[in-house]
Amino acid sequence: STNHKDIGSLYLWFSFIMFLTGGPMAMVIRAELFQPGLQLVEPNFFTQMITVHGLIMVFGAVMPAFTGLANWLIPMMIGAPVMALPWMNNWSFWILPFAFTMLLSSLFMEGGGPNFGWTFYAPLSTTYSPDSTALFVFAIHIMGISSMMGAINVIVTIVNLRAPGMTWMKLPLFVWTWLKTAFLLIAVMPVLAPAVTMVLTDKFFGTSFFDTAGGGDPVMFQHIFWFFGHPEV
């Protein structure tokens, strides 16, 4: 579909499904922390749950819910018949189920899924991580592409498709917040992409961006990550 309401509904249903996926992971985490010394799940599985729960909730539940509301409401609020780039809008949704299928499938790989927290700090995500890190990085790239396309669509729609008489100062606050958010996404998603790519090359191709033994700096990862992370959140 290229109907903005249909795509908005798809985003909202996807967000709900991801909420039902990530929520039980949070319950596993909280159950394990119920009392000192309690051992309900294997320790490595616990750290995997922390990583995947965080990514699913941020990129799978919160972001698609917000994007779904944007798809539903922005055209109606500014008097536009459609989102400006309907086919790209469709594509930006449909790559998400594949990204999260890939992320969840990493849990079933030999060595287990990603087990280094949702912030995936080096060297936990490089030197000490399982091979499923490759799937994790690819999934993050696809989520980022989806966010970028959604943000571009929002900006083009708000700038070009406002109804006659809908001046900038008459835009509803929700539309203004999304315009600002879309610019932030376009600014910070290209920062996350090289960060996870450097994690990938440190892990599999012998680079040392975040390895002090090779002249790298693990703290640099945190600077790059949070340059992305706080605008995103």
Q: Give, for all 233 residues of the chain, the pLDDT tens digit.
A: 899 999 999 999 999 999 999 999 999 999 999 999 899 999 899 999 999 999 999 999 999 999 999 999 999 999 999 999 999 999 999 999 999 999 999 999 988 999 998 899 999 999 999 999 999 999 999 999 999 999 999 999 999 999 999 999 999 999 999 999 999 999 999 999 999 999 999 999 999 999 999 999 999 999 999 999 988 87
Distance, CA of 4 to CA of 82 (rounded, Å): 6
Would you call 83 helix, strand, or coil by DSSP?
Answer: coil
Q: Is-cis flag, bond preceding 130, omega within 30?
A: no
Closest by Cα among 231, 196, 13 to 114? 196
Which tokens go with 160? 């070009």
Closest by Cα among 128, 102, 98 to 115? 128
Cβ(143)–Cβ(67) below 8 Å:
no
Amino acid found at 154: V
Specify the pLDDT at position 121: 94
Alpha helices, H only, the chain: 4-32, 43-55, 63-78, 86-105, 133-160, 173-204, 218-232
Domain count, the chain: 1
The residue with tokens 């790059």 is 224
Range of the domain at 173: 4-230
Residue 173 belongs to domain with CATH number: 1.20.210.10
Specify the pLDDT at position 233: 79
- What are the angstrom distances between the C-alpha of 32 and each of 16, 41, 54, 106? 25, 7, 16, 22
